[in-house]
Amino acid sequence: MTDTTAAPATDVCRPARLADLAVIEDVDKAVFTDKPYPYFVIRQLFDVHGAHCVVAEEDGEVRGYALVAVVPAESTAWLLSLAVLPGSRRRGFGRALMDRALAICDEARVDRMRITVRPTNDVAYRLYKDSGFDWVRTEDTYFGVGEARDVLEKQFRR
């Protein structure tokens, strides 16, 4: 899903645009082969949280994306998705997207960010742990029967 290497030398992240949604759908399908977001969900999430959706680009090609949902009333943000194309992994895109997602939280002045991760996704787990996230709980049926996810959380010091 993600990589844990240092970010590329130049800033590769930019705000997502409506024109990126079809490519974001393709990234989602390539990464989350068993449960990708359908286009209409990506569109609705973009309509609601688009200001907090970023893509990582190289040579004009989208290599991955991150989508953050900020919930000001709870002083919480959720990392709804962070995905890097399989052929673009281990090149710093995951780290760059995570750094941008954390910056979104800082700008929003939330107290915590939460994410869910499949317990067997070692690469993503390592990125999240390296970024300061701690395990909160396991939900055995988060995405349905037999679809457990760990909920992780990062607290921000204010």
Is 113 a domain residue?
yes
Residue 8, domain member (yes or no): no
User: Is the residue at 2 inside a domain?
Assistant: no
Residue 3 lies in a domain: no
Query: How many folded domains does the chain comprise?
Result: 1
In a domain, 18, yes or no: yes
Question: Is residue 127 included in any domain, yes or no?
Answer: yes
Domain span including residue 44: 13-155
Structural domain contains residue 23: yes
What is the pLDDT tens value at each position of the chain, 158 positions in all?
Answer: 444 444 443 578 999 999 999 999 999 999 998 889 999 999 999 999 999 999 999 999 999 999 999 999 999 999 999 999 998 898 899 999 999 999 999 999 999 999 999 898 898 999 999 999 999 999 999 888 888 899 999 999 86
Does the residue 4 lie in any domain?
A: no
Q: Supply the CATH number for residue 33's domain.
A: 3.40.630.30
SS (H, E, C) the chain: CCCCCCCCCCCCEEECCHHHHHHHHHHHHHHCCCCCCCHHHHHHHHHHHHHHEEEEEECCEEEEEEEEEEEHHHCEEEEEEEEECHHHCCCCHHHHHHHHHHHHHHHHCCCEEEEEECCCCHHHHHHHHHCCCEEEEEECCCCCCCCCEEEEEEECCC
